[in-house]
Amino acid sequence: MAFKTTRISKPQPRRAYDRTSFVLVVDDDDTLLKFFKIHLNKSFSRVIVVDSAKDAMVQLKEKEIDLVLTDIRMPKVDGIELMAKVRRFDPTIPVLILSGAVLDDEQTAACLDDADGFLRKPFSFDDLHNFIDRGMKLREAFKEMAGIMRDQKNFRALLRGKISPRRAAKVSMGKDLEEKLNAHLALRVG
């Protein structure tokens, strides 16, 4: 009697990202860009790899990026400068820094204090996925915070009489809830 062997794999943890998330990878190393494109495409359908901060900013303007992974040392514009540009463009996009280089004190401080995450090269697949998962959780939290701040701004404008209650509700609710409110109001009026 022959026994069939089966390989038991450990269950994968639930990730905060899915195939609809856009991940932008910025690195001047073509080999690493190919690695990221091949490996991350298994988890994401939307992985964008670019080799410069200039190309990264173009992609940020064209796509709704959820997360930026960037090398710290690149020609012309480094990862720290790119992080500042991303934050000015959309502060809800987490910027995670990757580096295999020896960093000076200023770069180390920026990675530890200013970046949303820092991962030293070389890294394992698990480290990379946990790193990305943490970044995507930050993205959700940042978007929620931005929504709360927008709601507070509208609430203050409502209290000052600068906008109507209906306008404040429409702005803070989003499209789906706005349509439900309009449907409800139409029923009440009719």
Give pLDDT, residue 112: 67
Give pLDDT, residue 80: 87
Decide if pLDDT at 50 tops 50. yes
List helix spans (H) across the chain. Answer: 30-40, 53-62, 79-89, 105-109, 125-159, 165-173, 175-189
* Per-residue pLDDT tens digits for 143-179: 888 877 777 777 777 677 776 666 665 565 555 555 6
Ranges of each domain in the chain: 22-142, 144-189
In a 3-state reduction of DSSP, which class is residue 65?
coil
> Which pTM was predicted?
0.71
pLDDT-based confidence at 68, cuts 50/70/90?
Answer: very high
* Per-residue pLDDT tens digits for 70-110: 998 888 888 889 999 999 999 889 999 888 776 677 777 76
Decide if pLDDT at 1 tops 80. no
- CATH of region 22-142: 3.40.50.2300
Decide if pLDDT at 42 tops 90. no
Give pLDDT, residue 114: 77
Give pLDDT, residue 8: 45
Decide if pLDDT at 141 tops 50. yes
Angle at 91 between CA 88 and CA 96, to 5 degrees: 100
> Which residue from 153, 21, 176 is spatially nearest to 94, judged by alpha carbons?
21
| Mean predicted confidence (pLDDT) in 34-41 | 88
Polymer length in residues for the chain: 190
